[in-house]
Structure 1
């Protein structure tokens, strides 16, 4: 048994960097039918000795055996930490940040410096129940009934293909149960607002070969950021989401898994301010047009798995549809009568953007048994996407702002000022192979190779009257078609050596890729005439190559884990964002070359029964090496935080012999200096955030918890965009929630 005094001394030395890897929360059972399929949690596991099983590399391994930097959150940790949306688990992950801005569908994940921008491909592959999300606007949504979350850092193109350039986020929802069970959760916040959730699961047939799981969640709050012009909050939320699953296992070797989900969000966006310093939070939200942000997401997937004895065949078919319409104030985001344009022309600007994406994907793979000295996975993937986007600037004449969809506005109360519209028809496909070769006792080689091809075809749907006409540049025409294919071979190779249970060392090489694409028609001419460099009608694909070394250690009979990793990444044609005020468009350009290098340290400890300490520190040094404007060379890359500190401690203690336990938890996140544009025109000072939770629970039957997010009410701007646009981060939120399991 561990000596508490010795470990307490060790923990005191490391607690100042405490953090994010919940590496000893809850065990899972033996691997599922396929090595790539997640295994259900084992509620009887001893949390003091059990290992987390992760699946981010498409097979089941313990967290401490995986030769990669992974932060994993089990169902227990998700509940105890109050994780209800992606920002919550990212706040507990070193070298990973999330920038939330503009509207619900616009959030940027930054992993080890690799970031994203508006309307761009994501920087990370997000995989939910084996299905990869194809649109970044799907990411920022309610999380409920989730069994495990895994954040895998570093390019994973060999495993997940396009968009895994920064890493992968693998989310597994809870599986149907063998007995009828249910769960209810409710709560209130200071919006004021409330949240209710319900889940029911169990067998449909007597033999239990057909099971179901269904859940429903509703969140309603008046918001937290005041709009001083309207007298109401700028960020109310109404979010209704649901999920359902049917699992049919007619035999021990064959299973059919059908899942569906829906998310209907009603909120607001575009409540920007304009300042010269990103640290300036003194200007209140004061838009006279609160606008709307309505987003609907529908997903359905079908997975078939067959264990043939010599290996497992798996097929995953998925369809998803996303629609989002956002309206609101335009530049300069002041009340109409106070705006700069009103003083000159007698009207202000408002804006509207409409996005609709439909996608169908198909993956087939074969996985050999994992217990052999040489095991492998081979497969193929196909994706077809239809995407439509329109961007409108409207005259604000004091009659409000109205949504514009596929055709310019003819509403006299909201006259059209500018309008751009494009459709994309994209076809992507890939073939891949992964191998694991046990070379000798403790020595293993892991290799992956994937070839991705992404053909993009864009059609200009802007009426000719609204197309930019700049002397010296070709005039765009309605119906113009632009097409380009982006393709890349993505290898990954890892060598690991395990010295018993205490130590694992590894070294890896990996390459990641994400597609290029098209800015809206005519922006290159507008950018050039405005003196903006690096913005073209077509932006190139990005390729990132990473070398990484790392070590994972376990001490004191699994009571203390210390993991370290160091990396260097060369990025070619990374994205940067630029807003062209001339025609109100959001555009992407390329940074020809940037370098990222850094390291991470993660610690998880249990000094004594009931007490947990988590620690994490991440550092990223970014530098732009090549750019059309030589004055930018040497600057930090956009959206990169120089370092992150993630700290957490939790303590449980029994209240007599009643079976009731008290649980207290504190989490701390520190974001280092952050740059937002290639010019490094402003830098945000470090931001520290504190979250707390205090509750009672009884025998996994019920819980009552009081919580506070951003306890100290740290006011800061979440984003700064070129032109001085800043978007306020969420202030303090607090409330109480309760759950009942039956």
Structure 2
């Protein structure tokens, strides 16, 4: 062990010899970060770009080097290093007006999909990203609003707060299972998919990278990863206050403050938000709104630069969301002319989808999340250690028959605790053919799950019963590495791996059983990219993804006592191009995936037990296109299109532990449920100065979700046709003030986020979860 440590230290010291690492931050005259600024060592070919928070790292030839810092629309500065290892750069706007069409903040969005800062247009992955400016213009407030801009990505919610359904490239999320996307906040993987329900604000970057990313993000990145980076604490004091309101009794209050406690040494950032919404959907039986929601969010960060090479950042976030639950729609007339539920049209229309339960459902989610990140910069090498803890408490109570009958109710209590520890070594040399990172990871997840219900008089009650009471624990140890090697000036080979070693245990208190299993999964990734010229990138990728299995509450006819790990092998060809003096971007990719043991969910109402089962084999073929054009200095037009053909190749069999086997091979050749066959988006974005102090911004987006099959049978009675949602946001800024008007689902389109055919779960009723109707609002903010 001692010899291994000595070898690592020798490697680190030798890699860092003879070069000087300089870190820094580029901001404007107001202290706001400038992402995409160019930092170059004068007289050499060495250069880097600043990231989404304006930060940069560059290795220079000597302590007397001179850095040239430039950004479109700002005066270039030349700054002597003079032995300093950290430099703060403040750029002033140029007094000379720009001629022609500029692309500031357009094609130069900086992402971090491969754990390092690079332009989206030079990243050999299918990536959609927005920096802080784009996030604000598009009105990104949650994952749902961002997913509408990403081809082959769909985000839905249903039943209760924290219950989400993400589908990416033909891989859906299932209840009781993990999301097909890794969810990463400030470089820390957060495993609980319920956290995707939180509001997004005060952000520097949000990006989605698609295709298996197990080598970079570990298990459950079987379809990709969502990267969210919050804004850094600043050296200059700044505050922002925002107040807003809208229909449905919507109210918003937000406050952000950042600055230096000790200039150049200790910095803070504090942000908090409160949202309240009375609701727009009405329970016709109770005559009450059901989609109410109250959201309190508090976030704090402290960053200490203890030396020129060592910094520590601590962050803590708390949020509490309280809202409506279990308000499923039913058919108001049923099949016999009375209000008994029954067959429901999967394409909602007036009078066909009515909320009519006798119980007002309610759910709550509370989250406590803390991280401690330590960064140590050696000459040419960066050592990073990230420790995080996360606790989520969720509860749900509501109806289960979804009618006015004194019938069935449901209750659920879930507590999830997660501890993460990651140590990573990363190359920090700028001008090198070989870029690399390697490290280790440990994670422990403990999930305490309790579920119960009651049977009322109309169902032969009253009786109370427990349906699940268990504790699941997962421990993971992982080793990973990733590297790029420039074979030529244009051709780059990338390769990486991650070995996840998992131990799963379940202590079932209801059925007095204990289960344990181990699993190891090797997740390789190989990529070859060819930069044909500065405007054309071609790439080919192979990656393996892994989503861990787990245990069901108990076996039934429809599923086993456990479900298997899911794996995928993905092959992708893609291109990224820019033309017309960087005013037109056109990117695309085609992909093919094979999935083994793809996970699927079902609720067995004959036993009131929900569970997950596996298809033996399925496959996905698809492609996606993204384009953006700057028609003038004042107007961008953008569009995206995704097509997914997801098919069950071998449905296999499940259940059978009680002697009754469910044969799913009848669905061989059918489309995978919960997967839209296509997505399409088109929109306009505008920003210009009316006067020196008055500025306008506008955003309009039409998002179309294609046909969606809700069951393996693919019957028309369980299939939703394509539908479109129209969103907009308009803004006027005067000096430090900003007024915004926004609207979502402007055509008030009725649509479903989930549809459940009763025929296949032992229920006489179909039920569905309605999407949000037209919402409009306004807000005013001031910076000081």
Provide the rounded CA distance (Å) in 1 between the counterparts of 2:520 and 2:744.
43
Alpha-carbon distance change, 94 to 225 in structure 1, aligned in 2, over 3 angstroms: same
Aligned equivalent of 2:35, options 27, 30, 53: 27
Cα-to-partner distance string for 1:621-652 (whole Å, 9 max, x where unaligned)? 11100013222001111211111011110223
Once the 2 structures are TM-superposed, how far is the Cα of residue 31 of structure 1 from its aligned partner?
Answer: 9.3
- Could you tell me how far 1:574 is from its partner in structure 2? 1.0
Matching residue of 1:351: 410
Residues 711, 505 of structure 1: alpha-carbon distance in 2 compared, 3 angstrom cutoff:
same
Structure 2 residue 772 is the aligned partner of structure 1 residue 726: no
Between the two proteins, the alignment pairs up a number of residues equal to 664
Alignment partner of 1:519 is 2:552: yes
Secondary structure, counterpart of 1:40 in structure 2:
coil
User: Structure 1, unaligned stretches of length 5 or more?
Assistant: 1-24, 337-346, 399-412, 463-476
1:221 equivalent in structure 2 = 277
1:250 corresponds to:
306
CA deviation after TM superposition for structure 1 residue 415, in Å: 4.6
Question: Could you say if the C-alpha distance between residues 230 and 513 of structure 1 is closer, same or farther in structure 2, counting changes exceeding 3 Å?
Answer: same
> Any stretches of 5+ residues in structure 2 without a counterpart?
1-32, 41-47, 56-69, 74-101, 331-342, 653-663, 759-765
Instruction: State how 1:30-429 maps to structure 2 within 5 Å.
Output: 39-41=52-54, 45-46=72-73, 48-50=103-105, 51-205=108-262, 207-274=263-330, 275-281=343-349, 282-331=352-401, 333-336=402-405, 347-371=406-430, 372-396=432-456, 415-429=463-477
What's 1:3 paired with?
none
1:716 deviates by 1.0
Could you say if the C-alpha distance between residues 323 and 554 of structure 1 is closer, same or farther in structure 2, counting changes exceeding 3 Å?
same
Separation in structure 1 between the aligned mates of residue 166 and residue 50 of structure 2, nearest angstrom = 25
CA distance in 2, matches of 1:396, 1:669: 43
Q: Cα distance, 1:273 vs. partner?
A: 2.6
Q: 1:360 & 1:667 partners in 2: Cα distance?
A: 39
Residue 67 of structure 1 deviates from its aligned partner by 0.2
The aligned counterpart of 1:432 is 480
1:687 is the counterpart of 2:723? yes
Distance 2:612 2:51 in 1: 37
Task: Name which of 703, 708, 717 aligns with 1:669.
Answer: 703
Q: CA deviation at 1:375?
A: 1.8
SS at 1:89 equivalent: helix
Residue 457 (structure 1) aligned with residue 481 (structure 2): no
Higher relative contact order (CA 8 A, sep 6+): 1
Q: d(CA) in 1 for partners of 2:704 and 2:754?
A: 16
Residue 467 of structure 1 aligns with which residue?
Answer: none
TM-fit CA distance, 1:30: 6.5
Asked whether the 8 Å contact 1:29–1:40 carries over to 2, the reply is: no
TM-score (norm 1): 0.87
Deviation, 1:283, is: 2.2
Task: State the TM-score, normalizing by the size of structure 2.
Answer: 0.82
1:403 alignment partner in structure 2 = none
Partners in 1 of 2:362 and 2:517 — Cα distance?
34
Give the alignment of 1:590-605 within 5 angstroms.
590-605=614-629
Give how far 1:280 is off.
3.5
CA distance in 1, matches of 2:538, 2:573: 8
Cα pair 1:425 1:457 within 8 Å, conserved: yes
- Residues 98 and 109 in structure 1, CA contact (< 8 A), matched pair in contact too: yes
Give the alignment's Cα RMSD to 1 decimal: 2.1
User: Are the counterparts in 2 of residues 49 and 558 from structure 1 also a CA contact under 8 Å?
Assistant: no
| Alignment match, 1:741 | 783
Tell me how far apart the structure 2 counterparts of residues 419 and 622 of structure 1 sit (CA, whole Å). Answer: 33
Name the SS for the 2:144 alignment partner.
Answer: helix
State how far apart, in whole Å, the 2-side matches of 1:653 and 1:439 are: 44
Q: Is the 8 A contact 1:262 1:298 kept in 2?
A: yes
Q: Secondary structure at the match of 2:172?
A: coil
Q: Could you give the per-residue CA deviations for residues 350-397 of structure 1, whole angstroms, max 9, x where no partner exists?
A: 110111000111000100125211121010111011111111121346
Report deviation, 1:229: 1.7
Q: Which entry has the higher C-alpha Rg, 1 or 2?
A: 2
Query: 1-side partners of 2:104 and 2:457: how far apart?
Result: 66
Judge conservation of contact 1:302–1:316 (CA < 8 Å) in 2.
Answer: yes
Is 1:486–1:516's contact at 8 Å kept on the other side of the alignment? no
Alpha-carbon separation, structure 2, partners of 1:198 and 1:447: 43
Classify 1:676/1:148 alpha carbon distance in 2 versus 1 (closer, same or farther; 3 Å): same
SS in 1 for 2:103: coil
Q: Say whether the 8 Å CA contact 1:26–1:45 is kept in structure 2.
A: no
CA contact (8 A) 1:363 1:380 kept: yes
Partner of 2:638: 614
Contact map agreement 2:34 2:52 (CA 8 A) in 1: no
Structure 1 residue 137: deviation in Å?
1.0
1:501 aligns with 2:529: no
Runs of 4+ with >6 A deviation: none
Checking the alignment, whether the CA contact within 8 Å between 1:455 and 1:485 is kept in structure 2 is: yes
Q: Distance in 2 between matches of 1:652 and 1:318?
A: 39
Q: Is the counterpart of residue 648 in structure 1 residue 683 in structure 2? A: yes
Q: Does 1:633 align with 2:668?
A: yes
SS in 1 for 2:727: strand
Shift of 1:49: 4.1
